Structure 1
Amino acid sequence: MKIAQIAPLAERVPPKFYGGTERIVSYLTEELVRQGHDVTLFASGDSITSAKLVSCSDVALRLHTSIKDPLPYQVVMLEQIRRRAQDFDVLHFHIDFLHFPVIREFADRTVTTLHGRLDLPDLKPLYRTFADIPLVSISNDQRVPMPPVGWAGTVYHGLPTDVLPFAERPSGGYLAFLGRISPEKRPDIAIEIAARVGMPLKIAAKVDAVDYVYWDSVIKPMVEMHRNVEFIGEINEHQKASFLGNASALLFPIDWPEPFGLVMIEAMACGTPVLAFRRGSVPEIIEDGVSGIAVDSVAEAIENIEWLLKLDRRQVRAAFERRFTAERMAGDYLAIYQGLPGVRSKAAPLRRAAGGTTELQIVA
């Protein structure tokens, strides 16, 4: 199939540091190319891919110090896509909803994966207006607050099996927190849990400008107060393998409806069990007692740490390989592509890999 993948321009594909959406776009793009499809990636010019790259900005917009307003670059990208739309069997968007008015004439050959939270009230009138656009959710829980829309399926994220190696015997003896310093991610709870169970905690996370006050007023004082807590800062993919692989467990104490939680399956790939709060997608991702433990409170987390650390890391890795590989993710998306009314491909139906929740029909 001739497939266009349209990525956000804030980060390159794949991102150098934090950037879950761009990382998934990269994994999907590379797996589709590996399977023999003709893939074109619309992304920032510093992206690295084996697909055909259409540069829509010189570098990732977050790193471009001279750019004050990203919107003009996004509009230019949409115009490039509109002009070339007939070149592709399928156009797969990962940029929220900015493209909706542009794709009306060829919407039946498009898929839009929604990577963010959907419980914000301002989104409902927008999605009601564009209820015919084929959408993909990244968890079933993500769909809960939405009005009736054109769901084409739910596709869980996936990683290449070799991107994060399995570590059967971690050497660190610490708990890990990986992601962003923000109120909804609750690094304060991770610090509290580690302190109360008497284990070291390493925090590898970036601090966005919007969260500087939270960092300065809440988290930084806690880090300075607890000797068992080490703040590492933002890490790259190479550092992530060692950071997660040598951790005894990952703490994921979220306090918001997390649409997926990529770090959970990254930890699982390393064999590292996950202690997560039962919010958002967590019950769908964590197999309780196999790849981790889902809890509802700090007290329950503390009670279950001992059990968590006894989980078989080989079974954690096996859960990842069974459900969250890039091959499975690409297979689910290909099945959705072929189910779109306007797809011109004459290929035989594909077998779906196990582990996905794809729907082949657009449902209202």
Structure 2
Amino acid sequence: MNILLLMDPFIPVPPIYYGGIERVMYDIACKYKEMGHEVTIIAGPNSKSPGRLITYGQNGELNPALDLKVLAEVARILCKELKKHDVIHNFGRLVFLVPFAWFKIRKVQTYMRYIDRRNIQRFDSLRMRNLAYTAVSDVIVATGKTTKSNWHTVYNCAPVNYFTFRPSVPDNAYLVFLGRIERCKGLHSAIKVAKLSSKNLVIAGNISTLPHEISYFEQEIKPLIDGNQIRYIGVVNNEQKNVLLGSAAALLTPIEWVEPFPIIIPEAFACGTPVLGFNMGGVPEGISHGSTGFISETVEQMAGHVLRIHELSRAACRKEAETKFSDTVIANRYLDIYKAISHKGTKTQSSTKI
């Protein structure tokens, strides 16, 4: 199969540090190539591809407003590429597919964020041919699904074989928080959990450039970083992440928003590291309570769960990564969706969780 993967240009594919959907897209592309498929990636400058690469636009901050120049550039590229491919898998803006709404080529639109259902309804009215939607959790599917659209839940993946499984860690192993430092990610809660449970916490990730998030870090987080119990080590690359996660007693994800499905969950599991998360967004869909982690309702409850980490199975975490969230499993699930899309018109709509 000849597969075209399309992404917004703002963050390179794959990202060096932070970047969720760009990382998943690249991992899937590499797996497709390994499986013998032809792959073309269309993405921003400084990107890489295991197959062909077409770059466009500029790297920089995500701009919520539609850039007509970017839209026109994508349309020109796709016009040249359509006849060479069997499917367009779009990880970028849905509007990129508008000029090709009635083309026979199979189209998949993937979401890793909360969806504005009005956009889906507008596309329903276009009667777009051969289109399937995917989202990275049941929670996110529910924000976009309409009676006329074809939806599937496909979770985020991690290249499991890249991560080193550590079957055990010392009793005094630290807790870890890894992600973009913004209030909605709940770092303030992770610090409270560490203090309540008398555990060390290692924080890694980039500080948001938004003014109110910078104030959040400077005023509420930085004063609590003592370099001893609470440490901040900055951003980490893939190699550093492997060691950081694998050496931790558990990953804390006390999110305070509708988190779609953090890639960090399968990455932690691949190392054998359990995950403790709040019962919000898609996080609970990734945790087998009492086996690969704990789902908590409050800071106090999560602190109590920290004291029960010894009840969890690091082997079960690794197995979950291999059987449910590996790049191989997720690539095959996307391939099944591609194959199910009719060449002659949109099939009877359904919603499938795979």
Q: TM-score, normalised by structure 2?
A: 0.89
The 3 A distance-change label for structure 1 pair 147 and 24 is closer
Matches within 5 A, 1:122-201: 123-131=116-124, 132=128, 133-148=131-146, 150-170=149-169, 173-201=173-201
More deviation, 126-135/260-269:
126-135
Deviation at 1:190, TM superposition (A): 0.1
Letter in structure 2 aligned against 1:310: E
Show structure 1 runs of 5+ residues with no match: 64-68, 345-359
**In structure 2, distance between residues paired with 1:27 and 1:296:** 33
Deviation at 1:227, TM superposition (A): 4.5
The 3 A distance-change label for structure 1 pair 75 and 16 is farther
**In structure 1, distance between residues paired with 2:28 and 2:190:** 31
**In structure 2, distance between residues paired with 1:26 and 1:362:** 29
SS at match of 1:61: coil
Asked if the contact 1:92/1:113 (under 8 Å) is kept, the reply is yes
Matches within 5 A, 1:212-231: 212-224=214-226, 227-231=228-232
Q: TM-score, normalised by structure 1?
A: 0.86
1:90 aligns with 2:83: no
Residue in structure 1 matched with residue 50 of structure 2 by the alignment: 50
The 3 A distance-change label for structure 1 pair 74 and 218 is farther
Letter in structure 2 aligned against 1:334: L
CA RMSD of aligned residues (A): 2.4
1:37 aligns with 2:37: yes
Letter in structure 1 aligned against 2:101: R
Q: 1:150-187 CA distances to partner (integer Å, 9 max, x unpaired)? A: 23411112222212111123357110000011111110
Asked if the contact 2:197/2:304 (under 8 Å) is kept, the reply is no
Matches within 5 A, 1:103-114: 103-106=100-103, 109-114=106-111
SS at match of 1:209: coil
Q: 1:33-85 CA distances to partner (integer Å, 9 max, x unpaired)? A: 1111111111234222221111224xx6029xxxxx97634541332113322
- Runs of 4+ in structure 1 deviating by more than 6 angstroms, as ranges, are none
Q: 1:250-283 CA distances to partner (integer Å, 9 max, x unpaired)? A: 0000111111111111110000011111111122
Q: 1:178-202 CA distances to partner (integer Å, 9 max, x unpaired)? A: 0011111110000000011111101
SS at match of 1:269: helix
Number of aligned residue pairs: 338
Asked if the contact 1:188/1:222 (under 8 Å) is kept, the reply is no
Letter in structure 2 aligned against 1:127: I
Letter in structure 1 aligned against 2:122: T
Asked if the contact 2:258/2:280 (under 8 Å) is kept, the reply is yes
More deviation, 255-264/144-153:
144-153
Deviation at 1:12, TM superposition (A): 1.6
Asked if the contact 2:3/2:39 (under 8 Å) is kept, the reply is yes
Deviation at 1:108, TM superposition (A): 5.6
